[in-house]
Chains A and B, each alone.
Chain A
């Protein structure tokens, strides 16, 4: 799979280069947009699909005539998901003359690149990062497009209230990603007054989660928050749950929207609900999924849609600014309001006009379910119940 993804990105990049070169020969210089991607590191499993969506969106824009009469040329830099490399790669992109940088790598790598884009006043768009503090850094040209971690907690808690679960258990793994999510959920549940009767971590590298799930079973929760993030530990959770004959409802996170779990935990997740930033019944999402399927012959997920939306935002900003100057694009992005996008619940779009550089609509997270080993549409959305 990873070979095919690499190949897909390489092929698309080559095609974009040729297309841009042809366009350039006929008319004007291309508009260069940089992309920071983790192609070979530990977070490549989500960074690459996000980048596939970015590539597809640029192909579509160029095929429709480009923007301001010019073709877009993407310049990809692999930062390996490493914070110590990402600033250097961002500097290289700035020196190459990009008008904006799309950060499709992990939050740590994105954070380091912010220092470079702040200094050069280059618009930087984080397609899918969910870290809470990225926009607290001093860079008025940095924009976070995906929902932050606390938003999924708020949405899931709103959903939980509708179910009236009196006491819950919290199960994660001991990776940094998961422990951060555990902290967020613990805080949110505490504020909501929902008691956590058992909290367990499944260590990365262990071979079974039976002891941890036995403790959860003994505590008799009404529901279980499953916030493990590392693939094998997520699968172990569901295997142990089945093996122990447990019946409590399972509430999961964005992580479960990765379709690979439908294979690794095949048939084990039925009945589970999880938060997602992708509503498959949203008109924009339906159109995107159809185009993606036609191009790649596979189903789109939220990851590709994140990458797609970052291009939508940049193109819209360049059009409204009627300029490819970085400060003008930056100003136009900051004024964006009501721009339709694939991600988010029905009726939600980009909105930075609140003065918040986190452009994901606070009511845009949805709750979906898994039935018959397939994802359903949204069964709940927003933070109000």
Chain B
């Protein structure tokens, strides 16, 4: 049973990262109907930005402490998200193009960001100093590391904040209104442009946060984005497309499933990344709306 309780913590922590990536998808998808597959590259760039801001590896004169550094990175990611919207999405929306046109445009952005990341950060994994270490911590039957517990705590705080935003604020209601009916929301005075820019900016912030968390564990790495894209999208589909709590549920379930399958089923360990793809296919065929029902919108 020792293995099982260790896996619960490890799988939960991995799942939290997938949940955050799912949330990054959701923040754009809900008000705009656009699936932005470039979010994985936001995470990659967030990691490199953390290395640049918090260490002397990429930009020698700068090495901010963790919290101010984190805030700077998230601000940069917000600007990046807004810039991507302005360059790759707005011109298409202005011409009345359907959401699929924006999705194709964003696939181009994915390639560009990947190249930018590889040029800026190089092809070696670059680390930031993790705020907590990797020593073994036991609590009851469970065991993990301080860093994995930190990841879990941060994720829960982010999801609580986003849930409160959507459920308890006027701005959140505006997002909800846009997701239900863009034209009606516009007629009711909701600023569609502001909602769209905010959606792209906040999506980049959440994915960038994942990059920062990973940079403190295994290092910022230019190829990290694609796997996170698949895992995040799967988390969203499993939990329920369109729901904040669905992204959290889907990500955590996926993380736990990956860990348990690898440990207890007789499958090759190199097949870990096939688990989300199999789960994704199964849900798309059997339960396309995910575990939690959508409340409307796209």
List the one stretch of B154-162, B167-175, B182-190, B269-277 in contact with chain A: B269-277
B37 proximal to A (CB < 8 A): no
Given A3-B58, A264-B218, A243:B125 Cβ within 8 A: no
Question: Is B136 an interface residue when CB atoms closer than 8 A count as contact?
Answer: yes
Interface pair B259/A210, CB less than 8 Å apart: yes
B123 at the binding interface (Cβ < 8 Å): yes
> CB-CB < 8 A to A43: which residues of B?
123
A24 to B6, CA, bound (A): 68
A264 touches B272 (CB 8 A): no
A235 CB contacts on chain B under 8 angstroms: 125, 127, 217-219
Contact of B58 among A1, A204, A206, A210 (CB under 8 A): A1
Contact B134 A245 (CB under 8 A): no
Q: A203-B271, A235-B218 are in contact. Are A208 and B10 (CB under 8 A)?
A: yes
Mark contacts of B22-61 with chain A using CB atoms, 8 A cut-off: 1 yes-contact digit, 0 otherwise: 0000000000000000000000000000000000011010
Which of A109-117, A211-219, A282-290 contacts its partner? A211-219
> Which of A239, A244, A245, A266 has the most B CB atoms < 10 Å from its CB?
A239
Contact call A210/B7, Cβ cutoff below 8 A? yes
Within 8 A of A (CB), among B53-90: 57-58, 60
A-B contact count (CB 8 A): 136
Chain A minimum-CB-distance residue to B137? A243
Q: Which residues of chain B are within 8 angstroms of A266 by Cβ–Cβ distance?
A: 127
Give the residues from 1 to 39 in chain A that come closer than 8 angstroms, CB to CB, to chain B. 1-5
Complex interface bits, A194-227 against B, C-beta within 8 A gives 1, otherwise 0? 0000001111111110111011001000000000
- The 8 Å CB contact of A243, one of B143, B226, B228, B258, is B143
Q: Is B17 an interface residue (CB 8 A)?
A: yes
Q: Which residues of B contact A245 (CB under 8 A)?
A: 136
Asked if residues A203 and B6 are in contact (CB atoms below 8 Å), the reply is no
Q: Assess the B262–A260 pair: CB atoms within 8 A.
A: no
- The answer to whether A244 and B269 have CB atoms under 8 Å apart is no
Within 8 A of B (CB), among A235-290: 235-236, 239-240, 242-245, 258, 260, 263-264, 266-268
Contact across chains for B226 and A205 when beta carbons are under 8 A apart: yes
| Residues in A whose Cβ lies below 8 Å from that of B148 | 243
Residue numbers in A under 8 Å from B6 (CB-CB): 210, 214, 243-244
B193 in contact (CB, < 8 A): no
Residues of A close to B95: CB separation below 8 A: none
> Bound complex: CA of A211 vs CA of B270, how far in Å?
11
B117 CB to nearest chain A CB (Å)? 11
Tell me which residues across on chain B come within 8 A of A204, comparing CB atoms. 223, 227
Q: Which residue of B lies closest to A44 (CB)?
A: B123
B252 to chain A, nearest CB (A): 13
Contacts of B268 in A (CB 8 A): 201
Closest 6 CB pairs of A and B: A205-B227, A231-B125, A2-B122, A211-B262, A232-B218, A45-B124
- 26 A-B residue pairs with CB within 8 Å: A1-B58, A1-B124, A2-B120, A2-B122, A4-B60, A40-B118, A41-B123, A44-B123, A201-B268, A203-B271, A204-B227, A211-B7, A211-B10, A211-B260, A215-B269, A231-B124, A232-B218, A236-B218, A239-B145, A242-B136, A243-B134, A243-B143, A244-B136, A258-B124, A263-B57, A264-B219
